Amino acid sequence: MVFISHDIQTVRYVSDRICVMYFGQIVEEGPAAQVFDNPSNDYTKKLLGAAPSLLHT
């Protein structure tokens, strides 16, 4: 299944693998835990840093 969303919190809970796109290009992909816990791309880091904390939901 492909799930497309701008809601990072939902993506984290429903996805096993994640692709992060920037201007129509995939800039990072991998297992959800890896992308969230150790992002390698600068855009992914900024995207995750801008999301509300998942600890307070």
pLDDT of residue 34: 95
pLDDT of residue 19: 96
pLDDT digits (tens, 9 = 90+) for 2-54: 899 988 888 989 999 999 999 999 999 999 999 999 999 999 999 998 887 65
Phi, psi of 37, rounded to the nearest 5 degrees: -85, -25
The amino acid occupying position 36 is F
Is the pLDDT score of 57 beyond 50? no
CA pair distance 6, 46, nearest whole angstrom = 14
Helix (H) or strand (E) holding 18: strand 17-22
Q: What are the beta bridge partners of residue 21? A: 26
Beta carbons of 48 and 8 less than 8 angstroms apart: yes
